[in-house]
Structure 1
């Protein structure tokens, strides 16, 4: 009796195919779910993470202000006579003494005017001599009743007129001679020549307008320092106070300046008062016209708040900061910066002492935005 062959060898293959199909279906479902989750995450709004800090009042902040330096005395030397520059003897940077000659002006026109004035004076004196003898003669004839009193008075009046003419001619000669003294340009005081705007042969005209000076002599052994002190701090400045002065061309070197006077008036446009200080400059390390920084010795107390410069937001609405409000919602506030103290800024208005300022506001942050606060939040007092 013949038996049928069994087909047990096909069963493992079928089972394997079924398992493979199930695995492919499961992989497709998982892949689609992952893509959907990524799409949902991408479409969800991104909540930025920020760090916040509590603002505190600035106490004992030193007063550091920009200032400008000027010569103690500065004299522009203008021409009082017209002519040509004959010679000059000092150049820029040269030290000069009071009365030292700076240049010599050749004045041919003025020389001729002096000759003419002297000739007119000589003619007037001749006329005066004749008028005096005539008046004396007529006075004698009047005594002898040879002429009328009217004629004698006319001769006396002519004598007086001739005397007045001589006085006028003498004054004109003195005037021209006085002008001739201005052909020599001299230094008005001890100092340094800081400007020379002429040369030999140059046409010289009578000047006086800014920019037409031939020389400028400055006394730089002592300098004036001008600084605008804000109204909030002016009460702490008084005559005799000391301040440290520094200039960029002398790094690491300080100079002592003394308050000389206060203008006793607040400038409407700047809200500051002009203060004048003086500083000795025997070594000529400081230069007139330069920029300087003043640091007053006495610390000044201020109730203003401070924040780091990184917290500022600049846009068309002005200078702003982002603060942390209720439920981590952003509140943007407009502020006014008082002073730049280096690593922090003094805020004059716009912030309260209980505000929490976002130290690193993200781009485009606006009021109502939600943020996440970093775990390590800077909550210390900002020090200048």
Structure 2
């Protein structure tokens, strides 16, 4: 009986020791789980990708101008209409303004009178100069010419010379006045400043022009659409990625089955305050006239950085209320690195911060992982 009790006591002791050992191991495992976080990692990449960016654009004419009358007059002749193809210098309309012609004729008469007075003054000067020179030679013989007569001849010559100078000044003024009035007469013929097409006509024969205020409609609107400006508003985020040697592809709803190409033309090189975009233009040669100014376009623009930049998985970037950061694996300890995000590329996102190519970061960032917390890369042994 005593032996049986001893066996029971030994078995109970063994069970108790095994239970204690199991409890101790469990506590140890829990402690490890609390201190070490198992994570998946990724490498920071250095890339210089060319990413197609879809932006709305608008086609504008190469040149466009509203044509007004510079002088007041009535429309005498109307030589073009909406849709007329015109050449530079071609007459579009002729105005009638009797008062302009009257002023021109008056200026022409004044110029003729000034020219006549000038010629008369020159003739008098020539005559007085000859008389003075003749008397001066005769004065070489003592007593041949009275000194008073010689002085009078000289005074007359000097007076005629001054008269010529005044007449020349008058003719210059008259000629300037004549040219001004001639310009007004020329303005009665409305001409095209460049080759193009008339897209708007707002006058009819007999209409009075040149008497309205600045808010009045123009006589004509002329547009040159042989080339078109594809205008884009590039967001600030991509303002430094536009390839100035590049070509963009675009489509318009009027020709949905066809893609068109345009070359980089010019950029404002400035971001607008009101909407944070940079206006950029691409040039399209519209020889076939297939496209029209004013059309909207869907534009695929390739954007590329001037030098390689760093990319990480989108899931690695943590957007907290305090900061945006990624978590770097620094000798198996978590290190938060503040970053700023750039462009997105599929599953990757561009980041700027205290990172280097090849740095190991957590593939899945989390606010719950504290700075300095111990890490174990998934698949490594404890």
Structure 2 length as normaliser, TM-score?
0.58
1:72 corresponds to: 62
Structure 1 residues 101 and 133: CA distance shift in structure 2, 3 A: closer
State the SS of the aligned residue for 1:114: helix
Gaps of 5+ in 2: 1-48, 136-148, 315-341, 344-348, 352-362, 367-382
Structure 1 residues 82 and 266: CA distance shift in structure 2, 3 A: same
2:95 corresponds to: 105
Is 1:88 the counterpart of 2:93 in the alignment? no
State the SS of the aligned residue for 1:232: helix
From 265, 273, 277, the equivalent of 1:268 is: 273
C-alpha displacement at 1:163, in angstroms? 2.0
C-alpha displacement at 1:219, in angstroms? 1.2
State the SS of the aligned residue for 2:117: helix
Task: Return the alpha-carbon distance in structure 2 between the equivalents of residues 280 and 141 of structure 1.
Answer: 75
Structure 1 residues 170 and 183: CA distance shift in structure 2, 3 A: same
Q: Deviations over 1:274-300 (max 9, x none)?
A: 211011223333222333221225689
1:200 corresponds to: 205
C-alpha displacement at 1:116, in angstroms? 0.5
From 121, 127, 137, the equivalent of 2:111 is: 121
Task: Return the alpha-carbon distance in structure 2 between the equivalents of residues 123 and 286 of structure 1.
Answer: 59
User: Equivalent residues in 2 for 1:8-19 (5 A)?
Assistant: none
User: Equivalent residues in 2 for 1:351-370 (5 A)?
Assistant: none
1:227 corresponds to: 232
State the superposition RMSD in angstroms.
Answer: 4.0
Instruction: Name the structure with the higher strand share.
Output: 2
Q: How many residues align?
A: 266
C-alpha displacement at 1:60, in angstroms? 8.2
Q: Deviations over 1:21-70 (max 9, x none)?
A: xxxxxxxxxxxxxxxxxxxxxxxxxxxxxxxxxxxxxx986311122221
Structure 1 residues 187 and 305: CA distance shift in structure 2, 3 A: farther
Task: Return the alpha-carbon distance in structure 1 between the equivalents of residues 267 and 311 of structure 2.
Answer: 24
Structure 1 residues 285 and 186: CA distance shift in structure 2, 3 A: same
Contact 1:97 1:190 in 2 (8 A): yes
C-alpha displacement at 1:71, in angstroms? 0.4
Structure 1 residues 172 and 253: CA distance shift in structure 2, 3 A: same
Q: Deviations over 1:130-154 (max 9, x none)?
A: 3233333443454433516444322
Is 1:291 the counterpart of 2:296 in the alignment? yes
From 248, 258, 281, the equivalent of 2:263 is: 258
C-alpha displacement at 1:86, in angstroms? 0.8
State the SS of the aligned residue for 2:240: helix
Larger displacement relative to structure 2 (143-152 or 102-111): 143-152
